[in-house]
């Protein structure tokens, strides 16, 4: 089968991975953002309420990251084999950050050195957000691949554009987290989040504008593909309108709007990157078709994980979020 014509099963699994990435960014994004905002205050009451705002969700949200990794390993082994050597250090930092977050979440408030758990929670959240954004920036520039093997250095992901994307995603996740706090909190934490949301929105916009400028000068692959696909500009427009919606929602004090419009911004950015990358899974050398596992393997995965595991995880996530929908119930308020 030619690289330009991936099989239906390859497309299915590429869609599953894209869907899982998108859900992870939105769901784990807000609790990573809250983790970073946690470090912006020393008020114990505010910190405790922040933890309460994500307590029912945080571990389930990270399940989608596991699905991404497992699906890549099983359905697109070539991508997995290229991605890990290219991002050994970011992946290690990601794992350390997630471990520190999880340990801090469980041990905070159970006695012992609480200041260590507090630092571990917000620092781990920041590291995870940064390396995810840096990986996206490195993908935009393109991953050097020869004969199916990564041929770049260990610090390709620390060039200016990846660093900007890492910082930008930190601002984006923090804005998503502030939106979630506004949506969920019935107390002064809501006002605290409202006060910080404009700074986060402006910071993300400024970093995004600078990253876009760098992209035009350095990312020839992206520019070439977007010239071929001018319709992708609609996602840029949607993203700009989303940021305007965030600003208007903050000014009008409409609790649901900042969070929803920030989600719309992430959806627009994701769609723009999909338009810029397709049909490549590793820009600009490994396509969906030539990275896919044999059809027999994809079929086995479809009948096992595709029809059983994925729906269970999706249903679990939907049930948990529906059960805890609405404002937090704070004792004494």
Q: Is the pLDDT of residue 19 over 70?
A: yes
Query: Taking the chain, what is the end-to-end CA distance rounded to the nearest angstrom?
Result: 63
Per-range mean pLDDT, top range of 8-17, 20-29, 161-170: 161-170
Confidence of residue 242 (pLDDT cuts 50, 70, 90): very high
Confidence of residue 330 (pLDDT cuts 50, 70, 90): low
**Which pLDDT does position 143 carry in this prediction?**
87
pLDDT tens-digit series, residues 170-211 = 999 999 999 999 998 888 899 999 999 999 999 999 999 999
Do 165 and 134 contact (CB within 8 A), yes or no?
Answer: yes
Confidence of residue 293 (pLDDT cuts 50, 70, 90): confident
Give one word for 70, left, alpha or beta, with left for phi > 0 and alpha for psi -120 to 50.
alpha
**Which pLDDT does position 36 carry in this prediction?**
93
Task: Give mean pLDDT, residues 63-77.
Answer: 85
66-71 contacts at long range (C-beta below 8 A, 24 or more positions apart):
67/16, 67/20, 67/310, 67/313, 68/17, 68/20, 68/21, 68/24, 70/305, 71/13, 71/16, 71/17, 71/20, 71/301, 71/305
**Which pLDDT does position 333 carry in this prediction?**
44
**Which pLDDT does position 243 carry in this prediction?**
93
Q: Is the pLDDT of residue 2 over 50?
A: no
Confidence of residue 238 (pLDDT cuts 50, 70, 90): very high
Integer CA distances (angstroms), 129 to 29, 99, 155, 194, 257, in order: 8, 14, 18, 21, 23
Ordered by where they begin, the domains of the chain are 8-321 (1.20.1630.10)
**Which pLDDT does position 198 carry in this prediction?**
94
Q: What's the pTM?
A: 0.91
Confidence of residue 169 (pLDDT cuts 50, 70, 90): very high
3-class state of residue 102 by DSSP: helix
Confidence of residue 4 (pLDDT cuts 50, 70, 90): low
* CB hemisphere CA count around 181 (13 angstroms): 32
Considering only residues 328 and 198, tell me which one the structure prediction assigns the higher pLDDT: 198
Q: CA 265, 267, 272: angle at the middle one, nearest 5?
A: 95
């Amino acid at each position: 089968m030619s690289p330009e014509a991936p099989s239906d099963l390859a497309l299915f699994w590429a869609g599953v991975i894209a869907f899982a990435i998108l859900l992870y960014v939105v769901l784990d994004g807000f609790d990573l953002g809250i983790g970073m905002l946690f470090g912006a205050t020393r008020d114990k009451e505010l910190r405790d309420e922040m933890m309460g705002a994500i307590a029912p969700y945080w571990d389930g949200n990270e399940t989608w990251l596991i699905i991404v990794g497992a699906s890549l390993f099983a359905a697109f082994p070539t991508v997995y084999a290229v991605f890990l050597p290219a991002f050994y250090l970011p992946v290690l930092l990601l794992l350390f950050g997630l471990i520190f977050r999880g340990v801090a979440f469980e041990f905070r408030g159970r006695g012992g050195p609480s200041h260590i758990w507090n630092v571990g929670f917000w620092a781990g959240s920041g590291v995870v957000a940064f390396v995810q954004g840096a990986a996206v920036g490195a993908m935009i520039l393109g991953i050097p691949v020869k004969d199916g093997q990564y041929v770049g250095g260990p610090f390709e992901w620390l060039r200016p554009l990846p660093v900007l994307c890492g910082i930008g995603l930190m601002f984006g996740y923090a804005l998503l987290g502030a939106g979630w706090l506004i949506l969920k909190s019935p107390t002064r934490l809501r006002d605290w989040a409202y006060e910080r949301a404009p700074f986060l929105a402006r910071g993300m916009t400024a970093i995004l504008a600078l990253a876009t400028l760098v992209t035009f000068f350095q990312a020839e692959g992206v520019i070439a593909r977007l010239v071929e696909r001018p319709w992708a500009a609609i996602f840029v427009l949607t993203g700009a309108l989303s940021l305007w919606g965030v600003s208007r929602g903050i000014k009008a004090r409409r609790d649901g709007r900042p969070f929803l419009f920030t989600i719309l911004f992430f959806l627009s950015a994701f769609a723009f990157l999909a338009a810029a990358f397709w049909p490549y899974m590793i820009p600009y050398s490994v396509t969906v078709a030539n990275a896919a596992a044999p059809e027999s393997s994809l079929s086995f995965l479809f009948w096992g994980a595709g029809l059983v595991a994925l729906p269970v995880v999706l249903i679990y996530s939907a049930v948990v979020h529906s059960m805890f929908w609405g404002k937090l119930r704070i004792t004494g308020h």
